[in-house]
Amino acid sequence: MIELYIENLHTNKGRWFELPIDWEEVKDKIELDDGQEHLITDYMAPFTLSHYENFNEMNEVAEQLDEHTGHQQSTI
């Protein structure tokens, strides 16, 4: 399981997301408009992440982990 705290750097609004999740849903929840920057300010994962990880790649890794462990996504 991978959980990320993603923050909108323009508004400082952020929240926790369990991956995999659709990027449009993330943008909507943290009110991230096109051109605004975001940052991963915290995470829970079985490996080290940086503040600037590629979101699509993290979704792919989360899907692979879920397949391997049999984990089903839950709502946070």
Residue 75 in domain: no
Residue 70 has pLDDT above 80, yes or no: no
Residue 76 in domain: no
Do 16 and 3 meet the contact criterion of CB atoms below 8 Å apart? yes
Residue 57 in domain: yes
Residue 9 has pLDDT above 80, yes or no: yes
Domain residues for 41?
2-70
Q: Mean pLDDT across the stretch 61-76? A: 73
Residue 74 has pLDDT above 60, yes or no: no
Residue 75 has pLDDT above 80, yes or no: no
The domain total for the chain is 1
Q: Is the pTM of this model over 0.75?
A: yes
Residue 23 in domain: yes
Residue 8 in domain: yes
Residue 21 in domain: yes
Provide, rounded to the nearest whole percent, the portion of the chain with pLDDT above 70. 91
- Tell me the CA distances in angstroms from 61 to 11, 31, 35, one per residue in order: 28, 25, 25
